[in-house]
Amino acid sequence: MLDEGIELVAHAIIRPSGEVNGGSSFQADTLAPQQYQQTKRRKACREPEQELMLAVLKEAIYCIQRYVSARDKLRTRQYIEAKNWIMEEDSDWPFAFANICEVFALTPQYIRAGLLRREEMNLAKVSKGKIYQFTAGQARQNASHSNSKLTPSKLTPLHT
C-alpha cells in the first residue's frame, strides 16, 4: 500500500501533458496504449536533474507515509523534516517542494491534501490498538505462581 502511493505519484509526474486526474489523491489512472507509449518515451528523455527531483519527492513521500507513527529519533526526525519540506510555502531554492511540483506539472496543494488524508488514515489505524504495560515485578510474580504463559488479561492496559 505504501509503495503504491509513491508509485502513483511517480505515475502522475510522468503523465502526458494535458491529462488531468479527476479522482482523489493517489488513485490509479487508466491509460490507453498510446498514452503508455508517450509516458514511456517521456520518462526516457528525463534530465538527470529531474531524476534527482523525482527521487527527492519520492523519498519525502515515503518518509511521511512510513514514519508517521515512528518512535525512534532517527525516523521521527526524517518524518518531521519531510513533512516540513512538503508543507513549506517558500520556493526560493531549486529543490523546494513547490518548484519540484512545478517541474512535473503537479499542484502542490493537491499532493499535500492527499498526503494529509493518508496520514490521518495511518494515524487512525495506529490509535486503534491497545498499549499494555508489563513490569518486571509482575513477571516475577506471574512466574512464581505457576509456569503459565503471559496473556493480555495479565497485563495492565495503559489506554483504552
Q: From first to last of the 160 residues of the chain, give the pLDDT tens digit.
A: 545 555 656 555 544 444 444 444 455 556 677 666 666 555 555 789 999 999 999 999 999 999 998 999 999 999 999 999 999 988 888 899 999 999 999 999 999 999 999 988 888 887 766 556 666 655 555 555 555 455 555 555 555 4
Q: What pTM, to 2 d.p., does this model score?
A: 0.55
Output the CA torsion 26→19→42→11 (10° steps): 10
